[in-house]
Amino acid sequence: MRKIHFRLNRLGNVPITILVMGIFAVCTLAISSFVISNISVRNDFIGVSMIGKLNYFEEEIMFYAKPEINKNPAELMPLFGNGVIHGNVAFHGGKNGNQYFLNATYSERKFEFSWPMFKTERIIYIEYTFPQK
């Protein structure tokens, strides 16, 4: 009687093994699809975040330029000197007469089989001009 029980148990190992491998494959596919979609969604909102950051810089410039504060934004903010870099996005600012201009550049490094091997390619460029009030 004991041999029959062992034999039936051994015959059940093949379907269980196939079931476990199938579940593992489905879970791996689901996790990889979430990772891929997260990367593509993160890159889709870069332009929106750049515009939001430029609006923040404009509000900061207008705050310092108020008559009550009466400070020079070009002296206080690092945006007007070397600029501000957040990851692949670079922000720069300047003043031309009584107008301020801000720009944001999103660039990526691309690999090529030439010299230099890594070239910086500008993907998104936003320029924003507003008058001093």
Contacts of 122 (CB under 8 A, 6+ apart): 105, 106, 107
The pLDDT value given to residue 49 = 87
The pLDDT value given to residue 6 = 52
The pLDDT value given to residue 25 = 96
Is this structure's pTM higher than 0.85?
Answer: no
The pLDDT value given to residue 27 = 95
The pLDDT value given to residue 21 = 95
CA 60-105-92 angle, to 5 degrees, is: 40
d(CA 86, CA 109): 15
The pLDDT value given to residue 104 = 94
The pLDDT value given to residue 7 = 55
d(CA 50, CA 103): 9
Burial of 104 (0-12, 13-18, 19+ CB in 10 A): buried
The pLDDT value given to residue 2 = 52
Per-residue confidence in pLDDT tens, the chain, 133 aa: 455 555 556 666 788 889 999 999 999 999 988 877 766 655 667 888 889 999 999 999 989 888 888 888 888 888 888 889 988 899 999 988 888 999 999 988 777 777 777 778 888 889 989 887 6
